[in-house]
Amino acid sequence: MPNTSRHTAHVASGLMWFRRDLRAFDNAALYHALKSCTHVHCVFVFDRAILDKLPRQDRRVEFIRESLVTLDAELHAMAGQAGAGLIVRHAVAADEVPRLAKELGVQEVFANHDDEPEALARDAQVRGALANAGIGFQTYKDHVIFERSEVLTQMGKPYGVFTPYKNAWLQKINPYFLRSYPVGKYIKALASRPKAYQTSVPTLADLGFEPTNLSTLHVPTGSPGGLALFEDFFDRMDRYDETRNFPAVKGPSYLSVHLRFGTVSIRQLASTAYQRMLTGSAGAEVWLSELIWRDFYHQILHHHPRVVNAAFKPEYDAIKWAHNKHDKEQFAAWCEGRTGYPLVDAAMAQINQTGYMHNRLRMVVASFLVKDIGIDWRWGEQYFAQHLNDFDLAANNGGWQWASSSGCDAQPYFRIFNPTSQSEKFDPEGKFIRRYVPALAKLPNAAIHAPWLAKPLELESAGLVLGRDYPKPIVDHAQARTETLERYAVVKKVK
């Protein structure tokens, strides 16, 4: 069980600070806290520095809240004593954690790494405040298998291309890095909450938020929900390589939001996939590659934090993106699923209605925004950041830079997805389109991918008038492709 922080001598009292690791099972920081301390208190802070910027309906806040109820119950059951569980606060975390640590009289605060730039700045502030009070701050790797500088080239440099990184990752992996932390072995150190802190997890209303459609979408929350999804996917993993690209098929694991908030253990997922891969499962091998991509993007963010606002390949910042009034109207059409390209519009309806988007469709809609409309990839990245339940800065940024060809190991700039052929290939019967764009439901399969090419009789039979019931295409793909190649020509000049 790898530990990237210094060894902590046994102390009387500690505080476990949960962040993006909302589970008791196989939790690195919780394990080290319980092992190192005689008494351990647990806290989660609904950070006002983050929450105050959000709309009053946010599925992620509701997911976190429901998962905390489960985590509180898990801790209570594991401790086997009255009063054990979570202390939950609604405050600015950078202020509240040091204040609570001093109130509780702990000697150490424990947490798992969060390598997003704003999180690192917050942790630096917390570390300083704790140090001023004579309290230690220990952090551990828990969110990925390999982080930061654990996988480097032979020259000691971070990788910028995925395949060599993946090969080095696979060479380095062994059972040591995949073992679970035996939290239960030291659970007796879990302390009862002082009477002043024995309050239940606040409601959404207490936090100033309103319910979303999360429950009607039947999104399972907490570690039991993550485990149920993983068990369901276990039986489908071997076919993942065949099913993962078809949005109307139950192919993905649907675990991305659980990975984001740590309601599943990345070690458990990667270990299972790795063992299945060794037995010859092509599906498990492809799924493991997806988990390795996740590690890859996190180490990119660590070594190149500038990618948050700039292209990984600096020459791509020379591109002049479309940004006049007409372009902004086209961006609005993309956001609202009114582009006239059915697969793109169905995908945008999916994210707007559910907070989820199939991975193949993330690539399709990103390519359309950047290379058909000519909009800056950062606009799309920000829209996803606001709407995805599983929003993760490293993966979202990496995916958008890949689609725009500006990132590490990105698709070549001249590779431009054709939204119609993507639709014909990956939703051949139009099942996904019919679900999310019901106006097109009565079109025959051959016409549903490009309604503007449908025969008049087909449109009439479907009760469809283009421009009234469904928009005409906002761009001509062939013409847009030519304009994109001209726009990207500046990249070659910069080189």
Residues belonging to the active site: 290, 293, 321, 359, 377, 400
Residue 372 one-letter amino acid:
D
Neighbours of 449 (CB within 10 A): 24
Nearest of 188, 247, 239, 226 to residue 33 by alpha carbon: 188
CA 298 – CA 114 distance, rounded (Å): 10
Candidates 348, 349, 56; CA nearest to 209 is 56
Neighbours of 486 (CB within 10 A): 9
CB 323, CB 373: distance < 8 Å: no
Specify which residues 37 forms β-bridges with: 11
Centroid of chain to Cα 87: 26
Partnered with residue 88 across adjacent β-strands are: 44
Q: For residue 297, how far is the Cα from the chain centroid?
A: 11
Backbone angles phi, psi at 29, to 5 degrees: -65, -40
Separation CA 399–CA 32 (nearest Å): 34
Nearest to 2 by CA among 199, 133, 142: 142
Other CB atoms within a 10 A radius of the CB of residue 355 amount to: 23
* Pairing status of strand 86-91 against strand 37-47: parallel
Cα separation, 35 vs 22, whole angstroms: 19
Helix axes 266-278, 282-303, angle to 10 degrees: 140
Question: How much is the CA Rg of the chain, to the nearest whole Å?
Answer: 24
- Helix (H, G, I), strand (E, B), or coil: what is residue 353? helix
Residues 6+ apart with CB under 8 A from 62: 204, 209, 211, 212, 214
Distance in angstroms between the alpha carbons of the first and the last residue of the chain: 45
* Non-local CB neighbours of 332 within 8 Å, separated by 6+ positions: 338
Beta bridge mates, 138: 110
Q: Tell me, what DSSP letter sits at residue 85? A: S
Residue type, 349: A
Q: Which structure tokens are listed for 128?
A: 């300083």
Cα–Cα distance, 278 to 472 (Å, whole number):
49
- The rounded distance, in Å, linking the Cα atoms of 470 and 326 is 20
Helix (H, G, I), strand (E, B) or coil at 307: helix
